[in-house]
Amino acid sequence: MTQKSYTTWNEYLRANFGQKIFKVPIDAGFDCPNRDGTVASGGCTFCSVSGSGDMIVAPEQPIPVQFEKEVEFLHKKWKGVKKYIVYFQNFTNTHAPVEVLRERFEQAVSMPDVVGINIGTRPDCLPPETIDYLAELNERMTVWVELGLQTTYQETSDLINRAHDYQTYLDAVKNLRARGILVCTHLINGLPGETKEMMIENVRRTVEDSDIQGIKLHLLHLMRNTRMQRDYHEGRLQLLSQEEYVDIICDQLEIIPKDIVIHRLTGDAPRDSLIGPMWSLKKWEVLNAIDSEMERRGSVQGCKIRR
C-alpha cells in the first residue's frame, strides 16, 4: 500500500522490480524536427536552447561516460541502489534513422544492471521501422515511450509552435500499444491562454481518448532565452501561483484512473535560467502541498472519474 493518494512512479518501480530503481538521464545528441526545419523551425516557444537536458550532469560526454557520471552523482544521495532505467531525455530521441537509434540506445542498455529504457520523443517521430525496433527492445527489458503532447487544444498547440496535431498523438499511442509498448504522456499546466477548465479537460481527453499507462503533469517554467519570454513581457502569459497549481493538480488527479502511473507532478529547472514561477524551485514544498490538499479534500486518484 502506498502512503500517497495517487500511484507514484516509485511505487510502480517497487511493485515491478521489488526495489528502488535509479532513472539515469542521458543526452544522446538528437535534435528536434521542430527546430531543424523538418516540420518547423525555432522549436516550441517554451523550449530553451538546451531542451529538457538542463539538469544532465555531463551532456557532452559519450553515452557510457554520461551513464557512469549520472550513477555516481545519484549514489551520493541514495545508497544501495543496484538497478537502473536509462532515460533518453533531451530533445526528440527517435528523430533519426533506426540504425542511429539502435547504435545509441544499445550503448546505454548494455551498461551493467540496466533493466529498462525510457525514451522521450514526439508523436510525429515514430515511423513503423522505429516502432519495430522498440518492440524488439521491449522483449528484452521494460520500455516506456514518453510522448510530449503538452495540450489537446489545437489553438494552444499552434500558439506554442508545437507543429503536430492531436490526431497524430492518438495515432502514435495506438501504434505503440499495438506492440505492447508502455506510453507516458506529458502535459503542461499554465500554457498561454489556457484556463483551469482547459487544463483539466486536457487530462480528461488524454486518459479517455488514448490507452496510456503513465502521465507527467508539468508546471510551465518560463525560461530565459525562449520565445515565450515575449508573451510574458507583452502580457499574454500569466504565471500560476503555487495555490492555483496545487488546486489544478488535485482536480486532475481526481479524474485520472488509478491504474495510470503518475510519473511526475512538477518539474525541475535551473535557478539561473528560470524567470518564474520561482516558488517551483522548492519542489518538495509543492509536492507536500499537493498531498495536504488531497488529504483535506478526502480525495484519491480517480475518485471523480465519469461513469
Residues 6+ apart with CB under 8 A from 168: 123, 124
CA–CA dist 220, 246 (Å, integer):
13
Residue 307 has pLDDT above 80, yes or no: no
H helices of the chain, in order, are 9-17, 63-75, 98-109, 128-138, 154-159, 166-177, 196-209, 228-233, 242-253, 283-297
Model confidence at 255: pLDDT above 50: yes
Question: pLDDT value at position 56?
Answer: 59
Mean pLDDT of the chain: 92
- Domain-embedded: residue 4: no
CATH code, domain carrying 226: 3.80.30.30
Count of positions (residues) in the chain: 307
How many domains is the chain partitioned into structurally?
Answer: 1
Kindly tell me if the per-residue pLDDT of 156 is higher than 60: yes
- Report d(CA 126, CA 278) in Å as an integer: 35
Q: What is the pTM of this model?
A: 0.94
Average pLDDT rounded to a whole number, residues 196-225: 96
Mean pLDDT of 81-105: 94
- 302: in domain: no
Nearest CA to 185 among 216, 221, 152, 227?
A: 216
Section 255-272 average pLDDT: 93
Mean pLDDT, range 239-252, rounded to an integer: 98
What pLDDT sits at residue 44? 87
Residue 185 domain flag: yes
* Of the listed ranges 116-120, 226-230, 301-305, the one predicted with least confidence: 226-230
User: pLDDT tens, 49-64?
Assistant: 655 545 556 677 899 9
283-297 and 242-253 helices, crossing angle to 10° = 50
Give helix then strand counts, H and E, for the chain: 10, 9
Alpha-carbon distance of 89 to 268, in angstroms, equals 13
Cβ atoms 54, 48 nearer than 8 A: yes
In the prediction, which pLDDT does 189 show? 97
Q: CB-side exposure of 8: number of CA atoms within 13 Å?
A: 14
Average of pLDDT values for 94-101? 96
pLDDT for residue 235 is more than 60: yes
The whole-number pLDDT of residue 49 equals 63
* pLDDT-based confidence at residue 230 (cuts at 50, 70, 90): confident
Whether 2 maps to a domain, the answer reads no
Q: What is the pLDDT of residue 60?
A: 78
Q: Does 306 reside within a domain?
A: no
Q: What domain range includes position 147?
A: 9-297
- Residue 214: the pLDDT is 98
d(CA 108, CA 70): 12
The three cell numbers of residue 178 are 499495438
Q: Which residues are CB-contacts of 293 (< 8 A; sequence separation ≥ 6)?
A: 246, 247, 250
The pLDDT score that the predictor gives to residue 1 is 40
Task: Give the pLDDT of residue 166.
Answer: 97
- Rounded to an integer, the average pLDDT of 98-121 is 96
